[in-house]
């Protein structure tokens, strides 16, 4: 049975798409964090982006990571 647990863990760790990870530290960002795409096409988390030299710290695009691919609806509270 430990082999099954190891297989499931291995599968869950590699389930994220490669584009969902930081190209610098290879970590999957948490919801709410920002991902910055630089001119070379690499996507970096806030920490790796801040570690770049100031002259290379130009983002082509910056996006906030959402909980899921489908954005949540914001609705008024019922009175």
Give the residue-averaged pLDDT of 19-35: 88
pLDDT at 69: 59
Distance CA 45, CA 29 (A): 7
In sequence order, what E strands does 1-79 have? Answer: 34-38, 43-45, 59-64
State the pTM of this model: 0.62
pLDDT at 10: 59
Give the residue-averaged pLDDT of 15-41: 83
Architecture of domain 17-64: Ribbon (2.10)
CA distances from 43 to 2, 6, 52, 56, 74 (A): 35, 29, 13, 13, 28
Query: Residue 43: beta bridge partners?
Result: 37
Higher pLDDT, 17 or 60: 60
Distance CA 78, CA 72 (A): 17
């Amino acid at each position: 049975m430990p082999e099954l647990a190891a297989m499931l863990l291995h599968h869950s760790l590699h389930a994220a798409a490669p584009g969902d990870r930081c190209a610098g530290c290879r970590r999957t960002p948490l919801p709410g964090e920002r991902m910055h795409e630089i001119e070379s096409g690499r996507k970096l988390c806030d920490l790796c982006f801040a570690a770049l030299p100031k002259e290379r710290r130009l983002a082509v695009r910056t996006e906030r990571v959402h909980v899921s691919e489908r954005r949540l609806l914001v609705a008024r509270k019922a009175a």
